Structure 1
Amino acid sequence: MTLLPVTAGVDGSAESSAAAHWAAEEAVRRGLRLRLVHGWGLSSPLEPVVDRAGDEQRRAQRLLRETQEALLDRHPRLNVSLEAMADGPRAALLDVSHDSELLVVGSRGLGALSGFLLGSVSGHLVGNTACPVVVVRSAPAGGPAPGGADAEVVVGLKDPDRPQGTVLEFAFTAAAGRRVPLRIVYAGERDDAAVGAAVARWRAAHPQVVVVETAVAGSASPVLLSAASDAALVVVGRGPGRVGPVVHGLLHHARSPVAVVPHP
């Protein structure tokens, strides 16, 4: 079976640098190749393509090589591949999502040479990619990144009676790889039997993961946002082509990385 890579979008911003470093650590943790992708494009269709394309391609390759060198300084055994694509960031990253284990992007930043803010690009990707998307913020100036070595993984479980298997599998895998607890947050009255049944399959597959349950009366959004202030990772799901208000809130306000996992 061919192993798919962890893919990171690179555009030269502080946010994309943070995303690339996060993706490198995740690739090492999973034993996968890291693919760095830069989607370049001209800022206007009226610009002379022949005169500019070569310069933009060279700049893209230089940016990718510099990012690769920085990552290999920290992870010398990491297998890294580079792809510069002349499709712009949206089209390029959507395309590579079809053969990626997950896609990692920065939360915002100027999409180099395209005129797009990466925030708008990442927002589009979250609702349309074929694989999970992890959105990463850069660390605040002069401050530490959220989530220490023992910070837990948090997952939002929308309905314990109808568990989203791909979301739970991603969350359990993330917690197991980091050797940290998994906190399951769900709305409604506490129902140990329903939650126990919902996660039984993944508990059996990952017996080393300590599971903590948090039931919330009303919306789970405030609890997820609170947990996201110092979590290693927050995991939520989305339906086909649809991003709900909980996901929107996390993407705009969470300090921790947010993984958005598509499910049927």
Structure 2
Amino acid sequence: MTAPAAGQERTTMAVGYDGSDAAKDAVRWAAGYAAAGGHRLRVVHAWVWPMFTKKLGPVEGVEGSGLRHAAEAILAEGIELARTALDAARSAAAPADAEPAPAGPAAETGPAVEGLMETGLPAPVLRGAARDAVLLVVSSRGLGSVLGHLAGSVCLALAGSSPCPLMVIRRVRSPGEPAAPVVVGVDGSSRSSAALAAAARLAGFLGTDLRIVHIDQTRGGAREGHGRHGPLHGQELLDHTLEEARNLAPHLSISVDLREGHAASKELLAAASDAEALVIGTHNRTGGPGNTVTAVLNKARCNVLITR
């Protein structure tokens, strides 16, 4: 996939799929978000077997066998699941007296679905597939059932190197279950402005409240000058961010939460203990996700959106 040219708007979402139950949840979530935003949805399957063997074709005399056929079947299943979920999301959003929208990939309304199967390990395949994407969605487990023991590493690798925001799905709501708040961590930097905007969009999609959290590290015991903000600036920062959020999404119910502590990840996790999703920004120049993002991904019980 090629990245969009400068000034060209991204209109496609990408979601990883390997056939696992966790990946099915990720596809369903991605389909709902794509339907709400009018995005195209790209279902991506990383095919690892060609890296280990050349025996990819069918077993002689056994119809429908072979590693290539199995991989193609997994991708086809993911595409069909996405189309079904998209149709359901469009139907749920349509007025009761509206004409039903045409179903399937030929529908003239709503986003389309496409499939992509690439040879390689999950992280680089998904990274390449998301170069022109507005959002990459993955499950928190099983990003490659063959390499399941590396799933954590894959998720962390994407957190530090994804070319677009990364949504890690840990749970999906049951039908009729109300959404819990979206929590976003801010520190006054440019990356937290991007996180705030993404959190506002996510809260609007979910139809839930937005909670803005700032960790005042100086007041929590960090040495003087270590944090970006002094002890008197924490509430001022939140007040400014609250005004920014209200300008972005005047329809949302928004609250703020000022916390103290030098362990940002610990405080963010505590603030998001009842959240539907936690939104944080990353800016680590080494290419890794950074300590805070790593800790959040390892311990968060909710979905996590990582912006950049």
- The amino acid that maps onto 2:56 is R
Residue 130 of structure 2: SS of its match in structure 1?
A: helix
Q: 1:9 deviation in Å? A: 0.5
Alignment of 1:29-178 (within 5 A): 29-42=36-49, 45=52, 47=53, 49=54, 51-52=55-56, 55-76=66-87, 77=103, 79-109=112-142, 111-113=144-146, 117-138=150-171, 148-157=177-186, 159-160=187-188, 164-178=192-206
- The amino acid that maps onto 1:87 is G
State whether residues 6 and 26 of structure 1, in contact with CA within 8 Å, keep that contact through their aligned partners in structure 2: no
- The amino acid that maps onto 1:100 is A
Q: 1:138 deviation in Å? A: 4.8
Q: In structure 2, list runs of 5 or more residues that go unmatched.
A: 1-7, 59-65, 88-102, 104-110, 217-230
2:17 is the counterpart of 1:10 = yes
Residue 196 of structure 2: SS of its match in structure 1?
A: helix
Q: 1:199 deviation in Å? A: 4.7
Residue 274 of structure 2: SS of its match in structure 1?
A: coil
Residue 98 of structure 1: SS of its match in structure 2?
A: coil
With over 3 angstroms needed to count, the CA separation of the structure-2 counterparts of 1:171 and 1:10, relative to structure 1, is: same
State whether residues 4 and 101 of structure 1, in contact with CA within 8 Å, keep that contact through their aligned partners in structure 2: yes
Residue 52 of structure 1: SS of its match in structure 2?
A: coil
With over 3 angstroms needed to count, the CA separation of the structure-2 counterparts of 1:134 and 1:53, relative to structure 1, is: farther
With over 3 angstroms needed to count, the CA separation of the structure-2 counterparts of 1:91 and 1:160, relative to structure 1, is: closer
Residue 178 of structure 2: SS of its match in structure 1?
A: coil
2:237 is the counterpart of 1:194 = yes
* Counterpart Cα distance in 2 of 1:75 and 1:164: 31
State whether residues 6 and 103 of structure 1, in contact with CA within 8 Å, keep that contact through their aligned partners in structure 2: yes
- The amino acid that maps onto 2:70 is R
2:306 to 249, 260, 263: 260
Larger radius of gyration: 2
State whether residues 43 and 115 of structure 1, in contact with CA within 8 Å, keep that contact through their aligned partners in structure 2: no
State whether residues 183 and 277 of structure 2, in contact with CA within 8 Å, keep that contact through their aligned partners in structure 1: yes
CA offsets per residue over residues 200-239 of structure 1, 9 Å max, x none? 3442121112221111111343342234343221101111
The percent identity for this pair of structures is 31
State whether residues 148 and 230 of structure 1, in contact with CA within 8 Å, keep that contact through their aligned partners in structure 2: no
* Counterpart Cα distance in 2 of 1:221 and 1:2: 33
With over 3 angstroms needed to count, the CA separation of the structure-2 counterparts of 1:227 and 1:21, relative to structure 1, is: farther
Q: 1:162 deviation in Å? A: 6.1
Residue 131 of structure 2: SS of its match in structure 1?
A: helix
State whether residues 167 and 303 of structure 2, in contact with CA within 8 Å, keep that contact through their aligned partners in structure 1: yes
Moved more, 9-18 or 32-41: 9-18
* Counterpart Cα distance in 1 of 2:145 and 2:57: 14
Q: 1:116 deviation in Å? A: 5.9
2:233 is the counterpart of 1:205 = no
* Counterpart Cα distance in 2 of 1:212 and 1:251: 24
Q: Give the paired residue count.
A: 253
* Counterpart Cα distance in 2 of 1:163 and 1:20: 27
* Counterpart Cα distance in 1 of 2:166 and 2:57: 29
State whether residues 161 and 198 of structure 1, in contact with CA within 8 Å, keep that contact through their aligned partners in structure 2: no
Q: In structure 1, list runs of 5 or more residues that go unmatched.
A: none
State whether residues 188 and 237 of structure 2, in contact with CA within 8 Å, keep that contact through their aligned partners in structure 1: yes
Residue 44 of structure 2: SS of its match in structure 1?
A: strand
With over 3 angstroms needed to count, the CA separation of the structure-2 counterparts of 1:53 and 1:193, relative to structure 1, is: farther
State whether residues 235 and 258 of structure 2, in contact with CA within 8 Å, keep that contact through their aligned partners in structure 1: no
* Counterpart Cα distance in 1 of 2:17 and 2:51: 21
CA offsets per residue over residues 171-207 of structure 1, 9 Å max, x none? 1111122232111111125744322324534421211
Q: 1:105 deviation in Å? A: 0.9
- The amino acid that maps onto 2:213 is V
2:279 to 235, 238, 245: 235
Residue 207 of structure 1: SS of its match in structure 2?
A: coil
